[in-house]
């Protein structure tokens, strides 16, 4: 029995009798005006690379070629879906992940069985079928295959029975399948998904005389590797050397809360505003950490493990979205952006419009870093980070070192969260031959492409303004 399965049983046992009222599904304005019935299936954590390979082998053949969907940083589910649902007015999410530091409570909360019922995460209410309860979540990680089949059957039932024009469902077992079972098992499951969808569409056509468009998308990518741990102990030591102190609460000016996620390739720390830079810099020597980031005024600073340093300097209009920004070197080129910038005819440090950055860096090793870092530090999340870091591909970071050790022994097969390509490129694809998708889609543009009527209705609600968050950088 793997540890995941053990915990699955444990939570099943704990939560079978929980009374839980499902939150109502969000009503999308003007959904009826969309030209045809459209089914969105969110497949948790499947990366562009894998879907590309499946199509090369002949699967998902009635879909157009898959396109990378650049996701948020950290490239993980909670902030990931929040970024994707931004044009549908999803608002802020309490934390980057289900476990997060709350300024109000002055401690790390969330991620325990009971919290699922207490902490409201808006994006979940957009799905017509979602794994809300702990029981449902437990199945997802204990028996990813079973969960995946359950989710597909629920999707079909909705498609055949719901009168709604826009239907959204969620395949949750896939993330667990990748973490615990690995790449081959995930590929096999996806082949099953392909066959299921083909048969489901046939059954739909037999019953309904109405065209149907199917869109598959994911909330983050995935990196398969044998992973080493970034030790929290080592982070603690580095903080101490810098005169700071790891703590569970922010009381003293030198306190630093290190938020331990599941096991991701990224991490978040909270500090007194004065100590952000010091806390960030202290991490650059920690084994496995690739890049550290901290915000300062209108800037996001970064240093890599080799001591190369630069910052993004943002120019934003009233609504809060960066209109142009520049990548200013301090020493070296931590993101390897110089060649990309000069190939496009700019000099490093030039102000470049966001649209240009998006195109220039979509295929970079750190895709679309300027925009993603901005959104992550200044928008999207209610409890904003003081410092964030991205680890090297063959590392992961998270709590419960012993648990991690056990997982590793059983063979944890990879993870996601980082700023680098594998983890940052989710995917989007459609079976609609009329759609003309760009080479890469940024997370908060996907629904604008597929639901123009709905996203416009939301914009009208906001007085023609883009839907944005009005928080200003601190
Ligand atoms: Zn995951």
In a domain, 54, yes or no: yes
Verify that 55 and 71 share a domain, yes or no: yes
Q: Which pair of structure tokens corresponds to residue 151? A: 């989710």
Distance in Å, CA 208 to ligand 1 centroid: 36
Taken in order 395, 401, 405, 406, the sign of the CA dihedral is negative
Distance from Cα 142 to the centre of ligand 1, integer Å = 13
Domain assignment of residue 473, yes or no: no
Q: Identify whether 171 is part of a domain.
A: yes
Quick: pLDDT tens for 60-94: 999 999 999 999 999 999 999 999 999 999 999 99
Q: Name the nearest CA neighbour of 175 among 140, 124, 203, 199.
A: 140
Mean pLDDT of 345-367: 97
Asked if 64 and 426 count as a contact pair (C-beta separation under 8 A), the reply is no
365 within a domain of the structure (yes/no):
yes
DSSP-assigned letter for residue 333: -
Q: For residues 355 and 348, give the distance between their C-alpha atoms in angstroms, rounded to a whole number.
A: 17
Rounded Cα distance between 379 and 398, Å, is 24
- For residue 28, being part of any structural domain is answered with no
- CB-proximal residues (5 Å) to ion ligand 1: 175
pLDDT at 106 over 90: yes
Report the relative pairing of strands 245-246 and 414-415 from DSSP bridges.
unpaired
Q: Above 50 in pLDDT, residue 221?
A: yes
Structure tokens at 473: 């950088």
Between 96 and 2, the higher pLDDT residue: 96
419, 46 Cβ separation under 8 angstroms:
no
Q: Which residue would you say has higher pLDDT here, 51 or 462?
A: 51
Q: Domain check: are 251 and 285 in the same one?
A: yes
Q: Which contiguous run of DSSP H or E holds residue 204?
A: helix 183-207
Give residue 453's pLDDT.
96
Beta strands in 299-423 (DSSP E): 299-304, 309-316, 322-331, 352-353, 387-391, 395-398, 414-415
Q: Is 325 within 8 Å of 409 (Cβ atoms)?
A: no
Residue 470 CB-density burial (10 A; 0-12 exposed, 13-18 middle, 19+ buried): exposed
Question: Which residues span the domain enclosing 381?
Answer: 228-397
Q: Are residues 14 and 143 in the same domain?
A: yes
Distance 141 CA to ligand 1 centre (A): 10
The pLDDT of residue 231 is: 82
**Which pLDDT score is estimated for 471?**
43
Band the pLDDT of 1: cuts 50, 70, 90. Answer: very low
pLDDT at res. 407:
53
Could you tell me the distance, in angstroms and rounded to a whole number, from the CA of residue 109 to the centre of ligand 1?
19
Same structural domain for residues 343 and 302? yes
213 and 351 co-located in one domain: no
CA of 424 to the centre of ligand 1 (A): 13
Asked if pLDDT for residue 473 goes beyond 50, the answer is no
For the segment 405-420, the average pLDDT, to the nearest whole number, is 74
pLDDT of residue 139: 72
pLDDT of residue 417 exceeding 80: yes
Indicate if 177 and 44 belong to the same structural domain: yes
Top pLDDT among 459 and 292 is at 292
Which pLDDT tens digit goes with each residue over 296-349?
Answer: 999 999 999 999 999 999 997 765 677 899 999 999 999 999 999 999 999 999
User: 51-55, 252-256, 410-414: which range is least confident on average?
Assistant: 410-414
Number of domains in the chain: 2
Q: How many CB atoms lie within 10 A of CB 238?
A: 19
71 & 212 share domain: yes
Tell how far the Cα of 176 is from the centroid of ligand 1, in angstroms: 6
Residue tagged 């993870």 (tokens): 415
468 falls within a domain: no
pLDDT of residue 74: 97
Looking at the structure, tell me whether residues 210 and 232 fall in a common domain.
Answer: no
The model's confidence at residue 137, banded by pLDDT at 50, 70 and 90, is: confident
Report the mean per-residue pLDDT for the chain: 89
Q: At 313, phi and psi to the nearest 5?
A: -120, 120
110 assigned to some structural domain = no
Higher pLDDT, 265 or 316: 265
pLDDT of 174: 87
* Confidence at residue 236, expressed as pLDDT on a 0 to 100 scale: 95
Per-residue pLDDT at 470: 41
SS3 164: coil
pLDDT confidence tier of residue 57, bands split at 50, 70 and 90: very high
Q: What pLDDT does 7 receive?
A: 52
Per-residue pLDDT band at 213 (split at 50, 70, 90)? very high
Question: Is the pLDDT confidence value at 404 over 70?
Answer: no
CATH code of 127's domain: 3.40.720.10
Tell me: cis bond preceding 74? Omega within 30 of 0 counts.
Answer: yes
Give distance in angstroms: CA of 187 to centre of ligand 1: 16
Question: Do residue 221 and residue 253 come from a single domain?
Answer: no
Residue 9 pLDDT level (bands cut at 50, 70, 90)? low
Range 252-273 average pLDDT: 93
So what's the pLDDT on residue 147?
Answer: 82
Residue 172: its pLDDT value, please?
84
- Are residues 177 and 198 both part of a single domain? yes
* Secondary structure of residue 38 in the 3-state scheme: strand
Q: What is the mean pLDDT of residues 174-195?
A: 91
Highest mean pLDDT among 134-138, 314-318, 456-460: 456-460
Indicate the length of the chain as a whole number: 474
Distance 375 CA to ligand 1 centre (A): 21
Residue 409 confidence (pLDDT): 47
- Looking at the fold, whether 213 and 232 belong to one and the same domain comes out as no
Distance 31 CA to ligand 1 centre (A): 31
If phi > 0 it is left, if psi is from -120 to 50 it is alpha, else beta; for residue 91 that is left
**Residue 111 located in a structural domain:** no
Segment 95-113 shows an average pLDDT of: 91
Q: 263 and 385: one domain?
A: yes
For residue range 111-124, what is the model confidence (pLDDT) as tens digits?
777 776 778 899 99
């Amino acid at each position: 029995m793997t540890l995941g399965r053990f915990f699955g049983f444990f939570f099943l046992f704990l939560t079978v009798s929980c009374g839980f009222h499902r939150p109502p599904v969000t009503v999308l304005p003007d959904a009826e005006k969309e030209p045809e019935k459209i089914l969105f299936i969110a497949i948790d954590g499947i990366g562009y690379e894998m879907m590309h390979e499946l199509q090369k082998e002949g699967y998902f053949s009635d879909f157009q070629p898959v396109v990378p969907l650049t996701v948020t940083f950290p490239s993980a589910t909670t902030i990931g879906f929040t970024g994707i649902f931004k044009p549908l007015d999803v608002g802020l999410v309490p934390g980057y992940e289900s476990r997060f530091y709350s300024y109000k409570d002055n401690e790390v909360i969330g991620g325990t069985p009971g919290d699922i019922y207490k902490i409201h995460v808006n994006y979940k209410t957009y799905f017509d079928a979602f794994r809300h309860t702990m029981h449902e979540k437990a199945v997802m990680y204990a028996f990813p295959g079973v969960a995946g089949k359950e989710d597909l059957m629920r999707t079909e039932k909705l498609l055949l029975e719901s009168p709604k024009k826009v239907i959204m469902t969620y395949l949750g077992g896939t993330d667990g399948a990748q973490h615990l079972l690995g790449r081959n098992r995930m590929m096999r499951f996806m082949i099953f998904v392909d066959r299921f969808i083909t048969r489901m569409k046939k059954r739909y056509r037999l019953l309904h005389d109405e065209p149907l468009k199917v869109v598959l998308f994911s909330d983050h990518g995935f990196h398969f590797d044998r992973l080493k741990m970034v030790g929290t102990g080592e982070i603690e030591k580095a903080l101490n050397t810098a005169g700071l102190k790891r703590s569970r609460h922010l009381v003293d000016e030198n306190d630093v809360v290190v938020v331990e996620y599941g096991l991701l390739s990224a991490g978040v720390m909270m500090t007194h505003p004065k100590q952000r830079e010091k806390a960030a810099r202290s991490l650059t020597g920690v084994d496995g950490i690739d890049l550290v980031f901290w915000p300062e005024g209108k800037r996001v600073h970064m240093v890599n493990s080799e001591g190369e340093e630069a910052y993004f300097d943002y120019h934003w209009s009233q609504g809060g979205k960066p209109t142009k920004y520049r990548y200013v070197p301090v020493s070296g080129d931590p993101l390897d952006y110089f060649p990309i910038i000069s190939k496009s005819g700019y000099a490093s440090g030039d102000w470049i419009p966001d649209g240009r950055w998006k195109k220039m860096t979509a295929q970079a090793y750190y895709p679309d870093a300027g925009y993603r870092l901005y959104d992550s530090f200044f928008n999207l999340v209610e409890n904003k980070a003081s410092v964030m870091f991205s680890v090297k591909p063959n590392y992961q970071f998270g709590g419960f070192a012993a648990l991690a050790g056990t997982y590793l022994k059983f063979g944890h097969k990879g993870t996601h969260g980082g700023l680098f390509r594998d983890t940052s490129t989710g995917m989007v694809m459609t079976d609609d031959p009329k759609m003309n998708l760009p080479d890469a889609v940024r997370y908060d543009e996907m629904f604008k492409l597929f639901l123009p009527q709905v996203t416009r209705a939301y914009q009208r609600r906001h007085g023609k303004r883009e839907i944005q968050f009005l928080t200003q950088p601190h």
